[in-house]
Amino acid sequence: MSGFLLTLHIIASLILIGGILLQPGAKGGGLGAAFGGGGANSAFGAQGAAPFLAKLTYWVAACFLATSLLIEFNIVRENRSVLEKKTSTQPVQSAPAPQMPAPAQK
């Protein structure tokens, strides 16, 4: 289950990054203008892809938030902590202390 959530989380993050980069900025440019998104003959009409990309961004951001919360809920439910390291199953053996030579007798 956590592998599926993690995969969904990564996919949502990549789509979210791409959707944000394709949206036009304050000056009407953006990465979307490189693909011809500003003309009247574009695939999304005269307004461009801005309304569609804005709605897509909202939904993907909601999915990203939901998967983040579900992943954290699974971590808490399993009593794990991100800060704790997993204990190894093999016992740790320490090296023997070095022996100091005996002081010389006079």
Per-residue pLDDT of the chain (106 residues; tens, 9 = 90+): 688 999 999 999 999 999 888 887 666 555 555 555 554 445 555 555 567 788 888 999 999 999 999 998 988 888 877 676 665 566 667 777 778 777 777 6
Rounded Cα distance, 67 and 3, in Å: 11
Classify residue 86: in a domain, yes or no.
no
Q: Provide the residue range defining the domain that includes 6.
A: 2-77
Classify residue 59: in a domain, yes or no.
yes
Rounded Cα distance, 82 and 3, in Å: 16
Classify residue 10: in a domain, yes or no.
yes
Model confidence, pTM: 0.56
Rounded Cα distance, 52 and 43, in Å: 11
Classify residue 102: in a domain, yes or no.
no
Classify residue 50: in a domain, yes or no.
yes
Classify residue 63: in a domain, yes or no.
yes
**For the chain, how many structural domains are there in total?**
1
Rounded Cα distance, 72 and 25, in Å: 33
